[in-house]
């Protein structure tokens, strides 16, 4: 059994901030917990645009608060996102994530991330065995 608290985790190294200041993410469950997935609470700050391309991970993102949109680059489609929506990058979709109102997201990654990942130049996180 594991119990963790978001506010407590935000006071620790579990809180990771994007180098460009666009988002932060509190990694509540990680590869070291051996569950086969990781679970994060992410804030995407209002007025930001982030290029993301998880080539080595599958991610599901549930919006709890805020407002924004995802633009999938392969087809130029815009997907408005509001509380209650979930989007799933089942095709390792390259996309732009924009927040018009700071978004609070619950994110699940498989394979799990190790904890310190931030986006590389190409929008990806390093694969688990890197
Ligand atoms: C939605 C998304 O991928 N945002 C970037 C941060 C990521 N959720 C993470 O938790 O590392």
Ligand 1 centroid, distance to 85 Cα (angstroms): 15
User: What was the pLDDT predicted at 126?
Assistant: 84
Report whether residue 105 contacts ligand 1, using a CB cutoff of 6 Å: yes
ipTM, 2 dp: 0.94
Q: Which atom of ligand 1 is nearest to the CA of 97?
A: 1
**Are the beta carbons of 62 and 4 closer than 8 angstroms?**
no
Report whether residue 61 contacts ligand 1, using a CB cutoff of 6 Å: yes
Question: How would you class 75 by CB atoms within 10 Å of its CB: exposed for 0-12, middle for 13-18, buried for 19 or more?
Answer: exposed
At 51-95, the pLDDT tens digits run 999 999 999 999 999 999 999 999 999 999 999 999 999 999 999
Report whether residue 48 contacts ligand 1, using a CB cutoff of 6 Å: no
Output the pTM of the full model. 0.94
């Amino acid at each position: 059994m594991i119990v963790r608290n978001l506010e407590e985790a935000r006071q620790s190294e579990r809180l990771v901030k994007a180098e460009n200041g666009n988002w932060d993410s509190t990694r509540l469950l990680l590869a070291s917990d051996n569950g086969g997935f990781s679970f994060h609470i992410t804030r995407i700050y209002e007025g930001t645009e982030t290029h993301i391309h998880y080539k080595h991970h599958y991610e599901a993102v549930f919006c709890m608060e805020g407002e924004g949109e995802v633009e999938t680059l392969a087809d130029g489609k815009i997907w408005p996102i509001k509380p209650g929506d979930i989007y799933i990058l089942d095709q390792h979709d390259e996309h732009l994530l924009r927040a018009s109102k700071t978004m609070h997201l619950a994110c699940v990654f498989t394979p799990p991330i190790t904890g310190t990942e931030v986006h590389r130049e190409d929008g990806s996180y390093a694969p688990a065995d890197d």
